Amino acid sequence: MNVGNIPCGIGIPQDLLGQSAGMQPIRKFVTRAEDLGYDSLWVTESIIGKTLVLEPVSFLSHVAALTEQIRLGAAVMLLTLRNPVQLAKSLATLDLMSNGRLDPGFGIGGHVPEEIFGYPRQGRVRRFEEALQVMKTLWTQSEASFSGTLWNFEGVSMRPKPVQQPHPPIWFGARVPAALRRAVRYGDGFMGAGSSSTADFITQSGLIRQYLEEEGRDPETFNISKRVYLAVDRNHEQAEKRLREWFGHYYGKPDMAPRVSIWGSRDECLDKLGVLVQAGAKHLLLNPVYNEMEHLDLLAEEIVPYL
């Protein structure tokens, strides 16, 4: 949605899947989001854990069939846990099925048990960078050849190619300076984590701009966004209580809620979101965590047009 100056996406609330209606609440949410004019729909990845989270490529393929224009994002997929050749094929297929609406995001992940997947934790940065280059090579070369430490191939064909050329815009999830520099060096955008604070984002956005200059990249060609867990609710105590409950369930850390989320009246939320925009956000991923259907309309009417 870009009624105001800042395009806004919306996180798909997967806790709706806990209801007896199956996928119907999700279908209702995503079609309503498109009708309201949101810029994009976003999912996450959590392969191992107690929280119900659908596999992102499969999930977005379903959402692609339900929608026509809204963009489809994943923030972020854990690239070091995937085979890049298979993932390149899956994402190219999804970009074709959605007619060029895919926004893939990648990250390394902080505390992922790589050994469960048969990968060593050591060398995961190298694996991440090389996997990304493998995918770009397969997407952009008709007869692809690659020589690396972990993957090697020559004269390999892969079809379909992505609809978006040379490839879908690649978002990075990152926190530390080295990861932020990788985002600038290899990516097309940075998505600040929902589990990071506004203060964290201000620092990260500043480093992104510094690295763009150092790498000789045009800032206009690089997107900056942040996932924002929020609640537009005049009842401050209720909002904080509900947010703490959600953070306790999803992250196992209820005390994270007051540090990283935004809540309050419409004007209070606008003021806090405005700080992110002033810090350099060109896009916002809004992520309500309770009363999601009500928030979907409320945000579209009372927040997005005024950003």
**pLDDT, tens digit, 9 for 90 and up, residues 291-300:** 999 999 999 9
Domain count, the chain: 1
pLDDT at 241: 94
Domain contains 3: no
CATH number assigned to the domain comprising residue 165: 3.20.20.30
The whole-angstrom separation of Cα 5 and Cα 179 is 28
Q: Is the pLDDT of residue 1 over 60?
A: no
Structural domain containing residue 190: 8-306
Domain contains 244: yes
The whole-angstrom separation of Cα 263 and Cα 231 is 5
pLDDT at 20: 64
Domain contains 31: yes
**Residue 175: both structure tokens together:** 């926190």
Tens-digit pLDDT profile for residues 239-287: 999 999 999 998 899 999 999 999 999 999 999 999 999 999 999 999 9
Q: Residue 273: which H helix or E strand, with range? A: helix 266-278
- Average pLDDT value over all residues in the chain: 95
Tens-digit pLDDT profile for residues 65-94: 999 999 999 999 999 999 999 999 999 999
What residues contact 22, with CB distance under 8 A and at least 6 apart?
none
Domain contains 43: yes
108, 155 in Cβ contact below 8 A?
A: no
Tens-digit pLDDT profile for residues 5-22: 899 999 999 988 866 668
Domain contains 1: no
Integer-rounded Cα radius of gyration of the chain: 19
Domain contains 110: yes
Q: What percent of the chain has pLDDT over 90?
A: 87
What residues contact 157, with CB distance under 8 A and at least 6 apart?
142, 143, 144
Domain contains 32: yes
The whole-angstrom separation of Cα 261 and Cα 57 is 27
pLDDT at 50: 84
The whole-angstrom separation of Cα 17 and Cα 26 is 7
Q: Residue 232: which H helix or E strand, with range? A: strand 223-232
The one-letter code for the residue type at 172 is F
pLDDT at 4: 65
**CA 118, 171, 147, 153: dihedral to nearest 10 degrees?**
70
Instruction: From residue 266, give the alpha-carbon distance in Å to each of 68, 73, 74, 245.
Output: 30, 26, 27, 22
> What are 283's strand-pairing partners?
225
Q: Is the pLDDT of residue 112 over 80?
A: no
Domain contains 59: yes
